[in-house]
Structure 1
Amino acid sequence: MRAALAALVVISAGADAQTNRDIYAQRALARALDERCQLFSENERLALDGAFLQARGDLLRAGFDARRIDQTYDQISRNAANQPCNSEATLAVAANIHSAYVGWQRERFQDYVGAPTLWRANRPYGYDSWVVTQTLLDADHSLMVGLYNSDQTYALTIAAAVTSEIASLTLHVRDTDMSPELHDPSLGGLLEIEGLPSWTPYFPPAAGSRRFIPSARWSDEDLAYFSFSESALEAFANLDPREAARIEAFNSEGNLVATHYVGIGDFAAALAFVRSSPDWSGGR
């Protein structure tokens, strides 16, 4: 479901002819111009941020260096500083985003890169529901993880079947202050690490990671829900799109019964999609 995202590109050539670098540069230019000229509404800005983050994730997954990507953004911002806010080129960028957002806000759901499966993002409804989610399958201890809307409060949430033996959970993510670089325990494939999935080499380090415990728990007929603090959501969303977080599940006696890894992917872009909903504040 990338049609709506593609529409948020400032089209200067045929979409089929554009590379990931072109798309990133165009979204970066629109974002940089908005930072200086305040071109967009809050929801338009969130939609553009999501499209920008997805374009950046595509470059990272294609092997582009994160520092070079960010240096490119800085250069684009410097170039944008020389473009008057009322120039024809600036107004054309603004008109393109305004027009694209009309279609964007009608989209009820989008799929985003995740691991081991995609993130499914849904516009908020007036009842409790997942708004970003993926399922981590396991023979005995499958989990759902994502963003859950409970009474118009949105929290990073993990859920397990009420019939499972899972009584508590912990979430582990890389501490970006203590460990600013991605952590590859295999040292580039030199070591074989048992128990790690093959879809990424990047995992929370043994030292230099943050551990979060749930701030609330509740259940319905099918699932037991464990929700986390706003700081946990922020730490999770700010991770690199290429890395994974670790979830540890414990039974009522405190014994570890399952370990899951969830790929960050474009979770931040999915979060921006949800927050850009016209009725986000109403939880509808």
Structure 2
Amino acid sequence: MRLLLAGLAFLSAGAEAQTSRDSFAQRALARALDDRCALFTESERLALDGAYLQVRGDLLRDGFSPRDIDSSYDRVIRTVGNRPCDDTDVQLLADDIRSAFAAWQRERFQDFMGAPSLWQASRPYAYDSWLISTAVSDAPLLRAGVYQLNGESALTVSAPADASIASLALVMRDPAQTPDLHDPTLGGLLTIEGLPAWTHFIPPADNARRHLPVSRQRQEEADMFRFADATLQALTALDPREAIRIEAFDAEGETVFVEFLGVGDFAAALAFVRSSRDLSAGR
């Protein structure tokens, strides 16, 4: 237990924070030990990464800073730096993770934090389907997530089939250009027209990256705009508290609509899906 709690002293003693602290400590410790001792299979590692990302998102939403969380993780790494891989406590922890993974694998569906709606994740079946999806707005058929088509999964946005929509763009903060979250409200002091109520953090006006789809397919009453894997990776690299912007435009480049989509625990949802054996051969 002393090892599990090492490095998390910056957290408060409140009941909710204590629960998050314990979960973070165990998952951070398991990841650090796995990095050094290769304790887990690829699928077990993905499941552990998803669980770690989920609790990290909880801590961020509870108000803890990324710097403090990452510093805590570094302290966990230093704590286990000289721990023998065949140590009894290390092996007991690995057994606990493997046991939890067996239960994780039996779950076909799981919800993850998102905005304005939850991310709904499903392990893949043989047919075309959403693996991860969320409603972007009240507009019918406007969804985003990861869609499996002909056995290939890709970050996808579906929109009502509309001849006026020539294409979509996903606009994201570029962490390399803008390391800190962009808050045009200055902490809620300003009211920004069109900003969703569930976040202050949106892509900056300058230095944001625009990602365009690589293909478009008609699925009954919806057009499916599919994006490159680089766009998927860019989304998973964002902070769970921020939003991306979805822009639809016509053939002349005029805006048809603009919607915001919360990042939430998308990266954890993706790890849940990818930890399935059904996808292991395709990664």
Contact kept in structure 2, 1:126 and 1:282, CA below 8 Å = no
1:116 matched to which residue of 2? Answer: 116
What amino acid maps onto 2:153 in structure 1? Y
Q: How far apart are the structure 1 equivalents of 2:141 and 2:131?
A: 19
Deviations 1:90-148 (A, max 9, x none): 00111001111111111101000000000000001111111000012245x75110011
Q: How far apart are the structure 1 equivalents of 2:56 and 2:255?
A: 36
1:7 matched to which residue of 2? Answer: none
Q: How far apart are the structure 2 equivalents of 1:57 and 1:246?
A: 20
Contact kept in structure 1, 2:105 and 2:276, CA below 8 Å = yes
SS of the aligned residue for 2:90 comes to helix
Instruction: State percent identity of aligned pairs.
Output: 55
Deviations 1:177-209 (A, max 9, x none): 000000001111221110010101100001121
What amino acid maps onto 2:199 in structure 1? T
Deviation of 1:16 (Å):
9.3
Q: How far apart are the structure 2 equivalents of 1:160 and 1:16?
A: 39
Deviations 1:240-268 (A, max 9, x none): 00000000012344321110100000000
Deviations 1:11-60 (A, max 9, x none): 9xxx9995111110110000100000000000000000000000100000
Give the TM-score taking structure 2 as reference length: 0.91
- After TM superposition, the structure 1 = structure 2 runs for residues 37-52 of structure 1, keeping only pairs within 5 Å, are 37-52=37-52
2:12 matched to which residue of 1? Answer: none
Deviation of 1:164 (Å):
6.9
Task: Confirm whether residue 187 of structure 1 aligns to residue 186 of structure 2.
Answer: yes
What amino acid maps onto 1:65 in structure 2? S
Task: Confirm whether residue 24 of structure 1 aligns to residue 24 of structure 2.
Answer: yes
What root-mean-square deviation, in Å, do the aligned CA atoms of Structure 1 and Structure 2 show?
Answer: 2.0
User: Gapped runs of 5+ residues in structure 2?
Assistant: 6-14
Change (3 A) 1:196 1:52: same
Q: How far apart are the structure 2 equivalents of 1:93 and 1:147?
A: 32
- After TM superposition, the structure 1 = structure 2 runs for residues 76-95 of structure 1, keeping only pairs within 5 Å, are 76-95=76-95
Q: How far apart are the structure 2 equivalents of 1:31 and 1:142?
A: 38
Q: How far apart are the structure 1 equivalents of 2:18 and 2:60?
A: 17
2:266 matched to which residue of 1? Answer: 267
Relative to structure 2, which stretch is displaced further, 98-107 or 177-186? 98-107
Contact kept in structure 1, 2:116 and 2:137, CA below 8 Å = no
Contact kept in structure 2, 1:248 and 1:259, CA below 8 Å = yes
Contact kept in structure 2, 1:152 and 1:282, CA below 8 Å = no
What amino acid maps onto 2:266 in structure 1? F
Q: How many residues in Structure 1 have an aligned counterpart in Structure 2?
A: 270
- After TM superposition, the structure 1 = structure 2 runs for residues 1-284 of structure 1, keeping only pairs within 5 Å, are 19-139=19-139, 143-163=142-162, 165-281=164-280
Q: How far apart are the structure 1 equivalents of 2:17 and 2:221?
A: 47
Give the TM-score taking structure 1 as reference length: 0.90
Structure 1 consecutive aligned stretches of length 4 or more whose deviation exceeds 2 Å: 15-18, 163-167, 251-255
User: Gapped runs of 5+ residues in structure 1?
Assistant: 1-9
